[in-house]
Amino acid sequence: MLVFTGCDTESVDENNVAITPGSATIAVGESVTFTASGGFEYEWSLANSPDEWGSLSNTKGPSTTYTSLKNSSSNSAAATRALTVRSYITGSGESSNTTQNTSYSSTHSAEAYITHIAEPSADVDLGALRLTPETVTLSAGGTTEFRASGGDGSYSWSLSTTSYGSISSASGDKTVYIAANTNVSATVVLTVSSGSENEVAIITHTP
């Protein structure tokens, strides 16, 4: 086993890479921000590239935003896409069995799944307030973008508590929740209001 310092993991063979959120459900035109953790240099990719169902805002860095480009006509397998993040680790370190300096190289990865849903049919009340995503799980410093639609077109956002994170905007059709850089286990309720309607999303913090 190789042991190296200045990193978040002890072994080059240990895969701690994760994506938050691990899954999302979106309709055409909506976006979700995914954040990677547990690795070093991150590279994002879709199972099919280019993909007619959606696109990524960037392919390198700790986070990326996926935007839906196509409306699903049914809950078919084709409407679920896989997003992969890879963390590349290279360098040199001291082996735990010898004092000799040894080179190492490893690639770790994680996947998240994005399900595309159909837009409401003509006989559905298009004015109903909607909030996506409805649930997310975040670690310290993680972020997720939430979007509102329907209602009266005017939106206000609020949190059940600001002890564990904050939002980028209290008005408008979208806001980004930013988890504090604190390892905690907690649940936060994000509420969006439009006229007399309210919708909530559940944000779970994990250490």
Closest CA to 142 of 84, 188, 197: 188
- In the sheet with 130-132, reading across from the earlier edge strand, the strands are 130-132, 143-149, 174-179, 165-167
Residue 97 pLDDT > 70: no
pLDDT of residue 151: 87
pLDDT of residue 38: 87
Q: For 172-193, what is the mean pLDDT?
A: 93
Q: For 143-155, what is the mean pLDDT?
A: 91
Position with higher pLDDT, 100 vs 153: 153
Q: For 137-156, what is the mean pLDDT?
A: 91
Per-residue pLDDT tens digits for 40-88: 889 999 987 777 888 899 999 999 999 988 777 654 445 788 889 999 8
Q: What is the mean pLDDT of the chain?
A: 81
Q: Which residue in this structure is represented by tokens 């929740």?
A: 177
Question: Which of 1-5, 69-73, 109-113, 188-192 has the lowest average pLDDT?
Answer: 1-5
CA distance 202 to 28: 22
Q: Which residue in this structure is represented by tokens 């590239």?
A: 49
CA distance 118 to 78: 13
Domains of the chain: 2-116 (2.60.40.1080), 130-205 (2.60.40.10)
DSSP for 109-155 reads: EEEEEEEE-PPPPTTS-TTS-EEE-SEEEE-TT-EEEEEEESTTS--
Name the band, by pLDDT with cuts 50, 70 and 90, for residue 9: very low
Q: For 177-190, what is the mean pLDDT?
A: 92
Per-residue pLDDT tens digits for 103-145: 656 788 999 988 888 765 444 444 789 999 999 999 999 999 9
pLDDT of residue 99: 56
